[in-house]
Amino acid sequence: MKTIGLIGGLSWESTADYYRLINTFIKEELGGLHSAKCQIYSFNFEEIVSLQKSGNWEKATELMINAGKTLENAGAELIVICTNTMHKMASEVQAALSVPLIHIADAAAKDITHHGLKKVGLLGTKFTMEQDFYKEKLAQWEISTIIPNETDRQIIHDIIFNELCQGKFLFESKEKYKKIMNKLREAGAEGIILGCTEIPLLITEEDIDIPLFNTTYLHAKEASASALYSPISK
C-alpha cells in the first residue's frame, strides 16, 4: 500500500470527510483491520482564503508546492489536494514533485464518462466556475460544462464560504442550490458536478433527479485505488 499525502485544511470540514472516506475504501477493499497509510498537511484556511480574495495566486501556488514537497519528503507516494479550487495550480504542484498528484477533475470526469454523459453543470466557488482550469480539464475528456448565471454563482460562492466552510448547513441554502441545479438541468445539463468539496455536506442525490458527481467521494475513491493499484488513466 502506498502512503497518501493529503493537502488539507481547505477547509478542515471536507478534509475530515476525505480521511473518513479513504479509510473506508481501504477497509472495504482489504478487510480486517486495514486502514490507509496517510499523511496530512493542514493549512490555516483563513490564510489561503485571503490569498484567493486578493488574487495572489502566485503566493498561493508557492504554499501549495511547499505543502506537496513537505509530504513527499516525509514519505508520501502520491498527493491529493483536498479541494477543487486549489487545483488551479495543480500542474505547478505536479511539476515540483516526483510522485503523482491525483487530479480531482480527472476523478470526476472518469465517473461522468462511465455514465456516458457529455454535458454537465458545474457548481463550486466562483474561482472554479468562472476560471478555465477546471473546465479545460473536463474538456480533455470531451465533457462540456454549463455554469450558473452571475447571480447564482454569487449565491453558491457565498454559501460555501459563509456557511458550509463554517459547519453551517441550512435548509434554505439547500433549497437555493436545488433551484440553481434545476436551472442547469433545464439548460441542458445531463448531470451536476458538486465541484466544491464542501457542497456534498449539504447536497445529496435525493435533491435532484439527474446524476450528481460528488467530487469529494470520487477523489477519495480514486486516491484509495491509486494507493493500492495504479494512478488514474483515461
Residue 13 confidence (pLDDT) above 70: yes
pLDDT, residue 196, reads 95
Residue 133 confidence (pLDDT) above 60: yes
Average pLDDT score over residue span 197-204: 94
Predicted confidence band of residue 231 (pLDDT cuts 50, 70, 90): low
Q: Specify whether 125 is catalytic.
A: no
Ranges of H-type helices in 31-89: 45-54, 57-73
Nearest to 217 by CA among 17, 16, 13: 17
pLDDT, residue 229, reads 85
Locate 119 and state its grid cell.
454535458
Residue 234 confidence (pLDDT) above 80: no
Over residues 19-55, the pLDDT tens digits come to 999 999 999 999 999 999 999 999 999 999 999 999 9
Residue 232 confidence (pLDDT) above 70: no
Predicted confidence band of residue 177 (pLDDT cuts 50, 70, 90): very high
Rounded percentage of the chain residues whose pLDDT exceeds 70: 98
Over residues 74-95, the pLDDT tens digits come to 999 999 999 999 999 999 999 9
Q: Specify whether 83 is catalytic.
A: yes
Phi-psi region for residue 181, left (φ > 0), alpha (ψ -120 to 50) or beta?
A: alpha
Instruction: Give the neighbor-by-neighbor strand order of the sheet with 191-194.
Output: 144-146, 119-123, 191-194, 212-214
Average pLDDT score over residue span 112-134: 97
Over residues 51-61, the pLDDT tens digits come to 999 999 999 99
State the residue for C-alpha cell 448547513.
169
Q: Which of 61, 83, 197, 216 is catalytic?
A: 83
Residue 160 confidence (pLDDT) above 70: yes
Q: Which of 196, 197, 215, 216 is catalytic?
A: 196
**What residue type is assigned to position 140 of the chain?**
Q
- As a whole number, the mean pLDDT across the chain is 96
